[in-house]
Amino acid sequence: MKNIDLDKLEKVSFEIEKGAFEPKELHCSACKKKMKPADMEVQLDDNIYIKLKVFECSSCHKQSLGLEEAKKLDKAMLFRRALSKDFKMERNLSFDGDNYTFRIPKEFTQGVSKRKIEIVPLGAKEFCAVVG
């Protein structure tokens, strides 16, 4: 198991295999050798880690990710950004007797067709909302 620091991640470039969602095996694009599957732990924050299944070339140490794992990494980086709160805005909450409501700026809802929102609780007072 290897640890990689997310701040250094830009320097660790993963090659993403297009069309290979969850590949069982991969070949190195440089050496054409069969790559070895490895578990990698990516540190997102002091105590938040995600595990990724990567493939590593034993000759040139190039690392590849399947599409599924790449998506997982993308999501994790979004969560990390959300949790670090370097970008945030304040909205007023209204209470209608049962529910609290707030307005979502239209810039956040481009391409919204279903007018549905999925709410994933993250903690007692924190959640992540995905507009459909």
Where along the sequence are the contacts to Zn ion (CB under 5 A)?
28, 30-31, 57, 59-60, 62
Q: 30 or 78: whose CB is closer to Zn ion? A: 30
- Secondary structure (3-state) at 129: strand
Distance of closest approach, residue 50 Cβ to Zn ion, in angstroms: 25
Considering beta carbons, is residue 17 or 50 the nearer one to Zn ion?
17
Pick 31 or 104: Cβ nearer Zn ion: 31
- Write the Ramachandran bin of 60: left for phi over 0, alpha for psi from -120 to 50, otherwise beta: alpha
Cα angle 118, 74, 31; round to 5: 150
**How far apart are CB 11 and Zn ion at their closest, in Å?**
18
Minimum distance of Zn ion from residue 34's CB (angstroms) = 10
